[in-house]
Structure 1
Amino acid sequence: MLTSSPFKLPDEKYWIFRLLINIEERHFSLEEAAEAARSSIDFDSALRYLSHECPICNEQVSFNKIITMTHCSCAFCEKCFKAHFTTVIKEKSISHVVCPLCNNPDLKKDGNKEDVMEYFNLLDTQIRHYLDPEVHELFQSKLRDKTLMDMPNFRWCANCSFGLLHEASRLRMDCPSCGKSTCFQCRTPWEKQHEGISCEQFKTWKLQNHPEYQANRLARYLSMHGIECPSCGFQFDLSKGGCLHFICSQCQHEFCGGCKRPFKMDSACGFSRECHAKGLHAHHPRNCFYYLRDWDIKRLQQLLNHNRIPYRGSVREGSQMHAEGLCRVLEYKETIHGLTEEQCGQIAPAEYDGLCIKSLLK
């Protein structure tokens, strides 16, 4: 037990300090107890100083270990501040560097860019103080990239990591770093066939004539499974049964893969009355179509019948059911003569309209 003050406290403060450190199972250090005694007028106020609960980790921390965000009233402990912003800065885009409790401010909506930059400038002061130097440097690098990307004439080179401002009226943009070229509008590596034609015409030509696309039958595949960003036109490979919430890897535009509307959280969506509770158009993420891929055939049919949606293979009362046979879907099969197109040949139950289970799920 301490008999004298190791922190040069006045007598009235020292007795507050003594009461604090004699608390059984205390969670604070001697230095924190001395600071609480020095900053408080009595024991109760000193105890309150040391007993702030972090809403994220639920740990009791002292007042000087609580950080209040600059653009909202949310406050949490220094450890959670460092863990959250370190993870977000390292793993996500700069638009996600917001308060972990209220997700404010909304950095993705169109608004006053001066307010956004004011937020980042104030946050930069906190990050500089609490985060590791390399994380702070990464934050500044991403913030610099965001500032550049907001400029209408800025583009990244499609062949290397160099970015440049393109003022010329022509589509071809030459990179001074790698010496290769990029299309300013569709942001794809430049090819000589693009010269003199629009991006849409070039895309059509590439799907129909490019040897690499023909060899891999990519044109047919993309026509069935592709999805295009409504903002920049970049094309993606849409996985079957995948989530409809898309984030374009080129321009960071967030949209619904079904209707191409911009993705907005909660009631900001405005697509239906349930958006505020269920997210993207009231089916993401809680009722996302992604999970339908795990349903069995009968459950899927019941869902369609319940919503009165006709589908191929549905058997209605009074209709003639197809006899059970072999699946007639054409597939590419490898033979000694190379790839040949043949019928699937698996058993097709009568209620599946001539398709096997594997083909029905495609």
Structure 2
Amino acid sequence: MEELHVDVEDRECPICCEQFPYSKFVNMTHCKCSFCEMCFIHHFSAVIKEKSIIHVVCPICKKPDLEKEGNSEESREFFNLLDTQIHHYLDSATHELFQRKLRDKALMEMPNFSWCSHCPFGILHERDTLEMECPSCNKSTCFNCKEQWEDMHEILSCEEFKRVKMQCQEEKLYDYLAKNGIECPSCKYRFDLWKGGCLHFKCTQCQHDFCGGCRKAFFQGSECGFSEDCHGKGLHAHHTRDCFYHLRDWEVDRLQKLLQHNGIQYSDTKKEPPGLNERSSIVWIPTVKAHMDKAEKKDETTSNDTEDKEYFVKLINANNLDPVDLYTETEMKVELQRWKLTIPENCGGDRSEAYLQKLQMKIRQEIPLLVK
């Protein structure tokens, strides 16, 4: 059997555990550690490219502690000696990156140096005021708190300025969510509402399933206790009759008629764009397409029609209007059946109008709308 002979001058690298001659080892300058050239190259190349300059230390003992020593004489000596080693063993691009990070470290330790908050430019700020103007992007930043500079910061401390800015942002967010947001009926958490699409919402905080139109809860069929018929259904909700779930099936003209019937004014979306405050996040954008095939025309018509319906249903809900005002006799009976209520008989030969009023009265009394 052939014996394996190891050169007495070879030694094992403590990182990769491979055998190399002493000439292939690199000795660290500020500790007693040493390891092979390839481990030196792999370690310092990765650290220089991916981490802060304070992590460019010995991979074995983690010395010196650059975070603790800061800009001491010992740390400067370490970097000077390491720079020579990196220049010898690593490629020129990595060496240049090391020198740039070393330069940035030295700049950041200067008391009047700061990075611009708007661009990668660094500034030596020597003015008496806290306002720091960047010669690269021409924008101003507070030298102390690094916030974008505003005139009111002249008379406010950084803490006061941040507090005022935070208050303004909270007020803007509150106003925005009040107009465009949606509130979970279970935990009352408010979040941004994206117009269009499915009405099924799942709260990110409490996981409650509900309808974005009427806020009624969604249930799996077996969990819904409304009636035995629900057990055979999947995820469903018992939407109120003024919910967009039902009113999106109405034609735009009929939605407008319900508003007119109750004396509610509205903007004609076909001719005049309503204000943003009126239509929340739905924006009316007039567009003209010179060349459009039939499919594109159909898609655009459907999209515009949906936006118009959302607008009118929002007005209907905001004014607590009841769609039953325009229900036909068949629709009223369907509404009563949907809520498992008895349909009144047309006794005594009631006139059609009188019977409709009887159905309408029963619906109003026994199936009230939710106050939004």
TM-score (norm 1): 0.49
Higher relative contact order (CA 8 A, sep 6+): 2
TM-score (norm 2): 0.47
Whichever structure has more strand as a proportion of its residues is 1
Whichever structure has more helix as a proportion of its residues is 2
